[in-house]
Structure 1
Amino acid sequence: MEKIYLKFYEEKTRKIHEDELSKISDYTCLSVSKDGSVELKKNCFIGRIDKKNAFAFLIREDSEDIFLNKTQANNLMDNDIILLELVKGKPVVKKIIKRGLEFIIATVLKNRKGLKYYTDKPLFKTILVDDESLIVSGSVVKLKVNDIKNERIYTNLEQVIGHIDDPDIDILKIVAYHNWPETDFDLLEKEANKLNININKEKEFRLDLTNDFIFTIDGADAKDLDDAVSLEVVDNNYHLGVHIADVSLYVKPRTLIDEKAYEKSTSVYMANKVIPMLPRKLANDLCSLNPDTDKLTVSCLMVINKDGKVIDYKIEKTIINSKARLTYDRVNDYLKNNIKFQDERLNEVLKNMEDLSVILKNLRNKRGALEFKTEELKFIFDKNNKVIDIELRKTDVAEELIESFMLIANETVAFHMEENLFPSIYRIHEKPDSEKLDKAMDTLSKLGLPFNKKTIVNAKELQKILKLSNDKDYENIVSMTLLRAMQKAEYSNNPVGHYGLAARYYTHFTSPIRRYPDLILHRIIKELVFGENNNKKRYNYYENNLSEIGKHTSAMERKAIEIEREVVSLKSCEYMVDKIGEEFLVQITQPTKTGFFVKTDKGIEGFVNVKNNHRESSFNEESLAFVIGGKIYKVGSFINVILTDVDMLDLKIDFKIK
């Protein structure tokens, strides 16, 4: 029954089609039609609880929230999903479908009565732990909620996260809040140290590229170098090599390292901290394509003509020896400012790479790929790990070059898998939801951007809008608004293509050190394409399991993104907390009925609550603008504000208009 009730909530509907009607045992709030559909009765509601201290609200998106008094809300917790019935106009909680509180992160302090558990946000109930033997005063712990009854929450210890005085304890708490898999890294490092691959033996079965001019281009602080590139121009065609670390050789199925990698499915990058998918022995040493060392790789070797079309390709097991470890900054210095490398051959290859990158980019633009302008915050820390400054990272020529090469390699491998009918995992991106897109376009129309609403779902029409905003003050607002309207890209065994890239074939092949889908794809290539284990049993395994692998890895990717965003908010708040009362120039990025979101020149986001701070104000829904004291405030406007509050618990930053 819980699954059926949750279906109503997740699909945000009052009517669902349920094939197995025999599973329905409680018809209190349900009615069943002859066509097999199940409907919520008019006086019944399913929704999420917003719990205050002595009362709560059932949140409803389509109409007014339902108020629950202290008695009605007594056994409820924040974010519970419940079934509620209105009996003679009064709310009656019929069922708690799903508890919102599954885990508790608490700081432990000792008093005269024993250990007491303090949460960042009050739960208004006593926390009881079944076994406290591993807990000491000052511990920060993760507790699994077993039951909630009246004024008590019954739990057991899931994890000791650390100590209240540990550096980065706030980041570790965020990771724990999101229930990221706990890993014994010491044990995994021991397992990785046992791995022994005979590289000389491997040479017998690989294409030897150790004498080829191959190198890596990455960020200066990158340690897991999983891709290298090479390029030759022969008869006016570009012979591009994309060489990817052969992680699948080291990480075998059903090993402890593989199981833990699948659990996480991705590395998580947070300010100055990384939770790697693989043990560092693999990620930074054995598999990392460090220079001047023979490394085992899987290469996609492409011949690309002057129009950017792949006219021939091979996918091979290879061995390489990287001739240089280049950084984006240094390559940008050469390509943009002509600060040359001492090696003239390197200068020539990089110029040819830039030419090919432009050709590939133009081809993607021609077919309708969407180029969103995004900003990434880079936090600068002092020796005490305190944020002292923030810089905006922007994609430049070198970054675009590597991105173009990885994209074409991913497309080529996806083409090979799909055309040859191999089971495979793909990176897919479906068309945007028309309702969300309409709403986004309503916002952008206030910037005066021309567009044809009838053809707006066409990627080329969206591309025009993005191009029109290039180098304008509101360029990032346009990208951000359209990105919110897009579907989320995900992993699937069903190759439906990639809308944002306007790519018929697309997968993730190029980052097996930090993404599990890439690792799985490498396994499939080696087993089925190269024929190393091409039997019916393995073929059926992938046919039967890739759908579930796609769902799991997509879910873990979304969770990792949530963690990364929350850490960005945490570090932004830490940077701003001692600047209350200071003045900032900000840009309005998104209006709401109560105020508007703004962004500083360093990319820090905050909110201006107009309703609370300015009585003489009005909101015009047509223009999505506020009128305050005769002045108009709309999307894209630059205004001066004063920082009024930094909430370190909810990670929110508030401003008021100067």
Structure 2
Amino acid sequence: MTDAQADAGTAESQGPVEIDEEMARHIENKRDELLDKFDIPDQFPPEVIEEANARTEDLEEEIASEVDERRDLRDLLTWTTDPIDAQDFDDAISIEEHDDEYVLWVHIADVSHYVNPDTAMWDNAVERANTAYLPGYTIHMLPPVLAETVCSLVPNEDRLAHTVEMHLDKETLSYETIDIYKSVIRSDARLTYTDCENILDDASAADEFVEDSSRLAKKNHLVWELADQMHEQRKEDGSLVLNPRRDRAHTIIEECMLKANKAVTHELMWDRGVEAMYRVHPQPSPDEWSEALREIQDLDGVSVPGDKWDEPRKAVNATLEQAPDRQLNKIQWAVMKVMPRAKYMSDPFSGHHALNFEIYGHFTSPIRRLSDLINHWIVYTNDVPENLTALCDRASEKQQSAEQCEREYSQFLEEIGLNPDAIKNRGIEIVEE
């Protein structure tokens, strides 16, 4: 476990990082400077805020009017799993086990029902292209009021969703059928990652969330068993796993979202043959991979398995599993240095090298990524925007800007004696001197 992971794991029991008012002003000035440098707008235009507020009115009546046009999944046991400080709950899962298959549902908040090409919110989302995450400070792609109300899959409230229903062969975990449709769901529980871990350790921990707690506990165990199988299969197939010691709760969400994203990509390309915003990740050259493996091999206490050198991703996976904790960050950095930058493209056939997926795209985070929002629209309407190539370039460019801004902001925090990971996981509290 890395230091950052350890800090994240204890965030729920720790308070915010405390700073004085002078330090707060210093941080705010630097943040404003960086946002200006990378052209990241921190405020929404009045017409966008006005439109967002209007779309959050008469919520119950609008959902009720949609029920007859959608798949009604409100009786399906459904729950969300997020960090304790999550500001929105935009994805939820459900699962069933049959004799010869698993049925996995991934429900995503139906953002495109509220944000479409005829809205000012859509135009502003194209301008922003993503949510930027600085330690302790978030610059949203969409007005937060959407995530806090109509697009937040809170417990015991009806919500509009875009559901990916996957029937998976029990032996191979391959897709038997994929069905993507608009739905109405009703989440039964909001779990934090710690809640999920507690339930996996002790079924009685589910008592505080639902009346039928044993059922929720069994479903969590079932989805963990499936996620663990999917994770091991990905590694065996050659998917790069730079975080091999991730806890069970994170693994569940990561694997379910990857499976849903891949299912949508399959539907768009193989079943419909349409352009969309695909995620493409080029591979390093053989020399670059060799350079990374040699750097890893030279680390104290680290050994790259000799039979894996010709399969660099598997070599890194195997090395990370055996390496001492103190070397994990150095191994990860050696790999990241030689990795080309992933980008969005309308042509998916360069593939996703790190995941070792032939084609891949994003669907599960339409609140924070333009690519997902546009792919929701394409899945629903089969209408591909005329300027799709420009949108792909825009999303790639703005993601790079946000990442660079986050790096420079984190570096600044370290220079003034603050831990960016602690701030990221616990937030900041300003205290009087």
Normalised by the length of structure 1, the TM-score is: 0.55
CA distance in 2, matches of 1:467, 1:454: 14
Find the aligned partners of 1:566 and 1:300 in 2 and give their Cα distance.
37
Query: 1:477 is matched with which residue?
Result: 330
SS in 1 for 2:96: strand
Which residue in 1 is equivalent to 2:214? 344
CA 1:485–1:345: 2 relative to 1, 3 Å: same
Query: Residue 329 and residue 194 in structure 1: after superposition, are their counterparts in 2 closer, same or farther (change >3 A)?
Result: same
Instruction: Select the residue among 544, 557, 562 that pairs with 2:404.
Output: 562
TM-superposition CA deviations, 1:298-351 (whole Å, max 9, x none): 100011122322222211110101111110111112324666311111111100
Structure with the bigger percentage of helix? 2
Residue 273 of structure 1, CA deviation? 1.4
| Structure 1 position 175 matched with structure 2 position 35 | yes
Question: How much has 1:576 moved relative to structure 2?
Answer: 5.3
Aligned length: 387
In structure 2, the residue corresponding to 1:241 is in which secondary structure?
Answer: strand
1:333 maps to 198
Structure 1 pair 199–339 and aligned structure 2 pair: CA distance change class (3 A): closer
Say if 1:576 and 1:259 are closer, same or farther in 2 by CA, change over 3 A: closer
Residue 445 (structure 1) aligned to one of 297, 312, 320: 297
- Amino acid of the structure 2 residue aligned with 1:279: P
Q: How does 1:293-442 map to 2 (within 5 A)?
A: 293-307=157-171, 308-336=173-201, 340-342=205-207, 343-373=213-243, 395-420=246-271, 421-442=273-294
CA distance 1:477–1:289, change in 2 (3 Å):
same
**Tell me, what secondary structure is at the counterpart of 1:575?**
coil
Q: Counterpart in 1 of 2:363? A: 509
Does the Cα contact within 8 Å between 2:304 and 2:318 map onto a contact in 1?
no
Question: What SS class does the counterpart of residue 149 from structure 2 fall into?
Answer: helix
Tell me what 1:209 maps to.
73
Instruction: Look up the match of 1:391.
Output: none
Aligned position for 2:82: 218
- Cα distance, 1:467 vs. partner? 3.8
Amino acid in the other structure paired with 1:325: R
Cα deviation per residue 1:447-467 (whole Å; 9 max; x = unaligned)? 363466996465334434444
Q: Secondary structure at the match of 2:156?
A: coil
Query: d(CA) in 2 for partners of 1:314 and 1:601?
Result: 39
Tell me the distance in 2 between the aligned counterparts of 1:335 and 1:405.
Answer: 17
What's the offset of the Cα at 1:602?
8.2
Q: Matched residues in 1 for 2:396 and 2:343: separation?
A: 5
Contact kept? 1:510, 1:518, Cα under 8 Å:
yes
CA RMSD of aligned residues (A): 2.7
| Partner residue, 1:573 | 415
Tell me by how many angstroms 1:505 deviates: 2.7
Structure 1 spans left out of the alignment, 5+ residues: 1-163, 375-393, 529-537, 578-599, 604-658
Q: State the 1:242 CA deviation.
A: 0.1
Change (3 A) 1:601 1:323: closer
- Output the amino acid matched with 1:191: E
Distance 1:554 1:463, change over 3 A: same
Find 2:44's aligned residue among 181, 184, 201. Answer: 184
**Which aligned pairs between 1:632-647 and structure 2 lie closer than 5 A?**
none
| SS of residue paired to 2:417 | helix
Q: Normalising to structure 2: TM-score of the pair?
A: 0.82
Counterpart code for 1:324: A
Q: Does 1:234 align with 2:234?
A: no
CA distance in structure 2 between the partners assigned to 1:454 and 1:225 by the alignment: 40
Shift of 1:424: 1.4
Q: Rate the CA distance shift 1:182–1:270 in 2: closer, same or farther, 3 A.
A: closer
1:80-127 deviations in Å (ceiling 9; x for gaps): xxxxxxxxxxxxxxxxxxxxxxxxxxxxxxxxxxxxxxxxxxxxxxxx
